[in-house]
Amino acid sequence: MVSKRLSRLEGHRRKFMAVIDGTPECQRAVHYAGRRAKNSNGGLVLLYVIPEGDFQQWLGVEEIMRAEAREEAEATTAKAAQIVRENIGIDPEIVIREGSAADEINAMIEEDRDIALLVLAAGSAKEGPGPLVSSIAGRAAAFPIPVTVLPDTLTNEEIDALS
């Protein structure tokens, strides 16, 4: 069970969260979440999760790999945030975590009780819609707040019309 959402209380505002993973479709989710946030005077949280278990090496190598993954996460989220600032006109909150994507998304939702909607985009590759969207469909990682899943075929103009 998720904690009570605070986004409708005085002094709070509803936040939309998009997961940044470097895939082309995540740009659709960020654009939609950013538009919804701006149109509703809300906030935007961009979450990047560095996968756990990628650093099972000797200590020195592990530290270098972890630092490189952190640098990549920072660069990817900075680029996404800059696009949001330029195209939508809001300043997103950036969060970088390490662990399982589903676990970290749930932890973020629990910690920030203003987050009211998770926005994901489904990929159209032959491998499937992506691990997060697949996990929702398979109910392996049900999230405690509403989830909007966008097709990656929408253009920014079509997303603007929907949001």
Greater pLDDT, 6 or 15: 15
Please report how many Cα atoms fall inside a 13 Å half-sphere around the Cα of residue 5, on the Cβ side: 14
pLDDT score recorded for residue 116: 93
Reported pTM: 0.85
pLDDT score, position 25:
85
Number of separate helices (H) and strands (E) present in the chain: 5, 5
What angle (nearest 5°) sits at the alpha carbon of residue 51, between those of residues 99 and 94? 75
Determine the average pLDDT of the residues in 143-158.
86
| Chain segment 116-144, per-residue pLDDT in tens | 999 998 876 555 555 565 555 555 556 78
CA distance 31 to 34: 5
**91-108 tens-digit pLDDT:** 999 999 999 888 899 999
* 8-57: pLDDT as tens digits: 767 778 999 999 987 878 899 999 999 999 999 999 999 999 987 655 66
Q: Which structure tokens are listed for 156?
A: 């920014």
Q: Is 2 helix (H, G, I), strand (E, B) or coil?
A: coil
Q: For residue 98, give every residue at least 6 positions away whose Cβ sits within 8 Å of its Cβ, in sequence order, or none.
A: 49, 50, 51, 52, 66, 69, 104
